[in-house]
Amino acid sequence: MKKLSVDKTSSKGIAIGKAYKYEKISFVPDMYVYNDKDEEIKIYKNATEQVSDELTKLAQTNDIFTGHLELVNDVALLDEVTNKIVNDKKNVQIAFRDTIDEFVAMFEAMDNEYMKARADDIKDIYQRVMAKIKNVELKNLSSINTSTIVIAKDLAPSDTATMNLDYILGFATQGGGVTSHVCIMARNLGLPALVGADNLLEEVNDNDIIIIDATNGDIYINPDEATIKEFENKKSDFEKREKLLKENAHLEAITKDNKRVLVYSNVGNIEDIKNAVKCYIDGIGLFRSEFLYMENSHFPTEEEQFEVYKEAVQICTGEVIIRTLDIGGDKELSYYEFDKEENPFLGFRAIRISLHLKDMFKEQLRALLRASAFGYVSIMYPMIISLEELLEANSILDECKKELDSQNIAYNKDIKVGMMIETPASVMEAEAFAKYVDFFSIGTNDLTQYMLAVDRGNDKIADMYDSFNPAVLHAIQKVIDAGHKENIVVGMCGEFASDERACKMLLGMGLDEFSVAFTQVATIKSIIRESDFKKCKEISEKIRFIHSKKEVNDILNMF
């Protein structure tokens, strides 16, 4: 028996069965010199039209393909391919390959896991369009007719769309990230799935008996009978727990001693919100508005944004906290040229861009204000590091309110305004900031990186990126204390809020709102309902006086 392990699991559960190795065609462009550039462009347009037709049909039954459809029809993609054909004299296959490579590299370089996952979608588009250009039939998984676990280098949403799910027990891939659309699909379907399993294809053969323990991140290859029996029992226990979670998902997050906590969800688009509301969320703790900009060929207009924000609050009846544009750093726009920066994460990004591009910022703020007439919208500024920035942003917001008043356009006069706490500066000045906002939301992804001076994308020091570090925990406690001193709500929208091990500790530290992936909502609510707030608070008080990871672990073991 062999065992492989991965650092992150994408969809919990246990699967036991035979392996099916799925290897896709690797498309290499033909090296030829074209005679007619217009003919090359025509070939590309014909291919994308065919793919667009196929994706339109798929999008009718699976919302994920709506994003694929937008990608294949992206004007920026067409422009880049055309430019390479006309100006660089590349044939359509090379031009398309090179353009896709550039798009993939841009997304993979991003620090945001959700945006990194878009690279997988772009690779999927490459497969589909190149197959049409080369007139080749793509392989698919529709032929599987026995219970099996799919093993692959990677899987695209279109791969899973062809599966007969009656026969798929789970899957494992060598590449991919936990926020990829395939993993989201796996979570929605309740399929155990693991991604990023090194040497998977070398270690696993067709028809090997394997066990996927997607709860702990382990793969067992050709296990003995005792191990199989052990995991059959674990699988049964896990399924019972999941059934209970679903049955109780509608219950509020109230501790045994009646402490009410809000459990919100993080989203990136309308489809995310539709999925989140099915999980009985209390609201949206982070709507990442930058995706409206990144998936566009121009700065979205006030009207375009208004329609999206309006739809968002009409779908979710609870509070919807919409973060203003958080671009720069690892997130770029195809239609706006950023200056080359040595340290982009410390450079021209987030609120700094909004305050610089005031007209663009006003369009977003006006759209947000207008949407507040249709539901519970709250506005949140990212990356604030000084009181001057906060006051300037609020001043621009006031300008927008006066403009709407003069035009007799309705909006919520009492709209709440908050800010992200994600830098050491915002932690240190939290007491001052709390006097000018209605809420804080702690962004632990960036806060951990900045507090510890650790690049979370650097594999050599990845183990140093740890939100359980005492310095980070002390920062979180300081922010919660500062917020409560001014009677404002303190939430958390970073990945740490989804950490099951951290949940009771954060509860005891006084966190008012957990904003998590919608797939974690039921679990976090369940942990809170099983907790005694008074006891959690007593234990968490010890966090204030510790200075080592060992002491942190000792405290966590007390919960």
Count of other CB atoms within 10 angstroms of residue 76: 16
Tell me the β-bridge partners of 356: none
**Residue from 181, 316, 400, 503 carrying the catalytic annotation:** 181
**Both tokens assigned to 457:** 């994308």
Inter-CA distances, 425 with 86, 290, 363, 439, 447, Å: 49, 23, 28, 17, 10
Structure token digits, residue 95:
């031009």
CA dihedral sign, ordered 145, 147, 148, 154: positive
- Please, what's the b/e burial string for 219-258 (b: 16 or more CB within 10 A of its CB; e: otherwise)? bbbebeeeeeeebeebbeebeeeeeeeeeebeeebebeee
Residue type, 455: D
Whether residue 493 lies in the annotated active site: yes
Q: Whose CA is closest to 456, among 491, 427, 428, 494?
A: 494
CA distance 392 to 395: 5
Least Cα distance to 308 among 333, 280, 288 occurs for 288
- The 3 state secondary structure assigned to 295-360 is CCCCCCCHHHHHHHHHHHHHHCCCEEEEECCCCECCECECCECCCCCCCHHHCCCCHHHHHHCHHH
- State which H helix or E strand residue 471 sits in: helix 470-485
For the chain, what is the radius of gyration of the CA atoms? 25
Q: What is the DSSP letter of 497?
A: G
Nearest to 171 by CA among 405, 11, 358, 373: 11
Q: Which helix (H) or strand (E) holds 219?
A: strand 218-221
The catalytic position among 279, 316, 400, 493 is 493
Q: What is the 3-state secondary structure (H, E, C) of 269-287?
A: CHHHHHHHHCCCCCEEEEE
Q: By the 8 A CB rule, do 92 and 80 touch? A: no
Active-site residue flag, 181: yes
Contact call for residues 448 and 456 (beta carbons, < 8 A): yes
Q: How far apart are CA 105 and CA 115, in angstroms?
A: 11
Alpha helices by DSSP H, listed for 372-469, are 387-406, 424-428, 430-433, 444-452
Q: Which residues are catalytic?
A: 181, 493
